[in-house]
């Protein structure tokens, strides 16, 4: 069962997001505070402290991750864009080279069909951030030996980029929740990745469509206006 998704209804104002971030950070702070209170009491032994140290560190790392991802989304848009002409095929190749070590974790494999002559005008850092997030999700959804296909093409003055995995996929409900701040089914996920992607895509008049089927896989299609040079 396939389902489409458009980005517009997923966008939250910075204030709504800030409220969600505050809520999200309160939990790790409460955990750490609780442990520190325990440290002060006579009840805590050195071995207790050792075992709770990791837990506290994990909570603080998560809080830090949430804050830094939030700052990426919420950074004031000065209206100025640091755009340049990006060779989409070349840049995707660079990103895949970067992500290869991550895919070794679960033995997923890349299959690339990259075309040259696909140019878009955007901030190179944002292009990278967008596809690192999408490809990272594809890797995390895959298991041993599954392939992740990445294709780009130009059609009618638009550039289409597809990232197709054959991983665990999503139900209709999961797909509808995707992109909502902090929606994550991963134990170490922040649930901000796709929201960051929606924001970047929208900033450059693009669209992002996602199709998914449980146990079959997920296909993400990003479309940007082509840049004429
Ligand atoms: P995170 O990766 O931190 O969980 P994201 O916003 O990147 O946050 O993704 C939100 C959720 O959407 C994920 O936790 C996962 O459940 C689901 N998801 C995203 N991409 C995929 C994919 N390619 N295949 C299956 N599920 C996905
Ligand atoms: Mg993610």
Residue (of 190, 209, 212, 191) closest to 201 by Cα position: 209
How many other CB atoms sit within 10 Å of the CB of residue 34? 11
- The tens digit of pLDDT for each residue in 42-75 reads 777 888 788 888 889 988 988 898 888 777 776 6
Which residues neighbour ligand 2 (ion) by CB within 5 Å?
A: 137, 193
Reported pTM: 0.82
pLDDT band at 1; cut points 50, 70, 90: very low
- The tens digit of pLDDT for each residue in 92-126 reads 999 999 898 889 888 999 999 999 999 999 999 88
3-state SS record for 147-167: EEEEEEEEECCEEEEEEEECC
- What is the phi/psi pair of residue 20, to 5°? -65, -40
pLDDT at position 9 over 50: no
pLDDT at position 79 over 70: no
From the CA of 119, how far away is ligand 2's center (Å)? 26
- Name 3's Cβ contacts closer than 8 Å, sequence gap at least 6: 172, 175, 176, 211, 212
pLDDT at 210: 96
pLDDT at position 8 over 50: no
Pocket of ligand 1, candidates 137, 171, 194: which has the most ligand atoms within 8 Å of its Cβ, to mutate?
137
Three-class SS state of 38: helix
Three-class SS state of 217: strand
pLDDT at position 18 over 80: no
The residue whose CA is least distant from atom 11 of ligand 1 is: 184
pLDDT at position 15 over 90: no
CB distance 181 to ligand 1 below 6 Å: no
From the CA of 178, how far away is ligand 1's center (Å)? 7
The residue whose CA is least distant from atom 21 of ligand 1 is: 137
pLDDT at position 143 over 90: yes
Three-class SS state of 84: strand
From the CA of 198, how far away is ligand 1's center (Å)? 13
The residue whose CA is least distant from atom 23 of ligand 1 is: 138
């Amino acid at each position: 069962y396939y389902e489409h998704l458009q980005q517009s209804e997923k966008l939250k104002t910075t204030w709504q997001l800030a409220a969600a971030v505050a809520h999200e950070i309160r939990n790790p702070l409460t955990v750490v505070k609780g442990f520190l209170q325990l440290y002060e009491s006579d009840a805590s032994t050195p071995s207790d402290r050792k075992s709770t140290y990791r837990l506290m560190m994990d909570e603080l790392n998560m809080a830090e991750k949430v804050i830094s991802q939030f700052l990426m989304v919420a950074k004031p848009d000065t209206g100025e864009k640091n755009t340049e002409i990006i060779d989409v095929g070349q840049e995707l190749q660079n990103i895949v080279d970067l992500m290869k070590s991550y895919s070794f974790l679960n033995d997923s494999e890349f299959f690339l069909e990259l075309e040259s002559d696909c140019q878009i005008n955007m901030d190179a850092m944002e292009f990278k951030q967008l596809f690192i997030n999408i490809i990272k999700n594809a890797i995390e959804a895959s298991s041993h030996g599954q392939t992740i296909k990445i294709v780009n093409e130009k059609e009618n003055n638009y550039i289409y980029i597809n990232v197709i995995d054959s991983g665990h996929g999503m139900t209709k409900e999961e797909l509808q929740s995707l992109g909502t701040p902090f929606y994550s089914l991963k134990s170490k996920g922040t649930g901000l990745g796709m929201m960051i992607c929606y924001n970047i895509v929208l900033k450059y008049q693009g669209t992002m469509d996602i199709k998914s089927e449980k146990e079959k896989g997920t296909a993400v299609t990003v479309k940007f206006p082509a840049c004429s040079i």
